[in-house]
A and B are shown apart, each in its own frame.
Chain A
Amino acid sequence: MSELKEKNDPVNLDIYSFSGGDEAQQQDLAGISADDRGQLLMAGMDVREAHRSGTFLQFDHAQVHCKSCQKGVEVLGINDALKKYDGLPDYFWKAIDKEQDEFTRASAAATTQGGYFIRTEKGAKISDPVQSCMFIKGENTGQNVHNVIIVEEDSEVHIITGCATSHGVSSAMHLGISEIYVKKGGHLTFTMIHNWGDDVVVRPRTVGIVEEDGVFLSNYILLNRVKSVQSYPTVYLNGRGALARFNAVIVTPKGSYVDTGNRIVLNAPDTRGEIVSRTITTGGINIARGEIIANAVPAKGHLECKGLILGDGVIHAIPELVGTKTGVELSHEAAVGKIAQEEIEYLMARGLDEDEATSTIVRGFLNVDIMGLPKELKETIDRTIAEHEGEMF
Chain B
Amino acid sequence: MLNIEDLHVRIGDKEVLKGINLKIKEGETFILFGPNGSGKTTLLMAIMGFQGYEVTRGKIIFRGQDVTHMPTYERARLGIGMSFQRPPTIHGLKTKDLVQLCARDKEVDVPAMARTVNFESFLERDINDGFSGGEIKRSELLQLMAQDPYLVLFDEPESGVDLENMVLVGKTAKKLLDGPTEPSPFESMRDRRARHNTSGLIITHTGYILDYVNADRGQVMYNGVLCCDSRPNRPRDILDHISKYGYKECVRCLN
Q: Is A353 a contact of B73 with CB atoms below 8 Å? A: yes
Interface size on B, residues (CB 8 A): 24
Q: Residue on A with the closest CB to B48?
A: A349
In the complex the two chains form, is B76's CB within 8 Å of A346's CB?
Answer: no
Chain A interface size, under 10 / 10 to 19 / 20 to 34 / 35 or more: 20 to 34
Q: Which residues on B sit within 8 Å (CB–CB) of A363?
A: 92-93
A residues 315-368 near B (Cβ < 8 Å) are 340-343, 345-354, 356-357, 360-361, 363-367
| CB-defined contacts of A349 to chain B, threshold 8 Å | 48, 50, 72-73, 76, 81-82, 84
Query: Which secondary structure dominates where chain B touches chain A?
Result: mixed
Assess the B92–A351 pair: CB atoms within 8 A: no
Contact for A369 among B48, B82, B92, CB less than 8 A: B92
Give bound CA distance, A141 to B28, whole Å: 73
Does B101 sit within 8 A of A, measured CB to CB?
yes
Contact A364 B147 (CB under 8 A): no
CA distance A346 to B92 in the complex (A): 15
Contact A361 B93 (CB under 8 A): yes
Known: A342-B88, A348-B73, A352-B73. A360 touches B93 (CB 8 A): yes
* Inter-chain contacts of A364 with B (CB < 8 A): 90-93, 126
> Does B69 have its Cβ within 8 Å of any Cβ on chain A?
no
Q: Which residue of B91, B92, B101, B126 contacts A350 across the interface (Cβ within 8 Å)?
A: B101
Listed residue (A349, A361, A364) with the most chain B CB atoms within 10 angstroms of its CB:
A349
Assuming the A-B contacts A345-B50, A349-B82, A351-B104, are A340 and B88 also in contact, with contact meaning beta carbons closer than 8 angstroms in the complex? yes
Which residues of chain B come closer than 8 Å to A347, judged between CB atoms? Answer: 90, 98, 101
Contact A361 B73 (CB under 8 A): no
In the assembly, what is the distance between CA of A366 and CA of B87, in Å? 21
Most B C-beta atoms less than 10 A away, residue of A341, A346, A366, A369: A346
Which residues of chain B in 84-117 are interfacial with respect to chain A, using CB atoms and an 8 Å cutoff?
84, 87-88, 90-93, 98, 101-102, 104
A346-B93 in contact (CB<8A): no
B contacts, CB < 8 Å to A: 48, 50-51, 71-73, 76-77, 81-82, 84, 87-88, 90-93, 98, 101-102, 104, 126, 143, 147
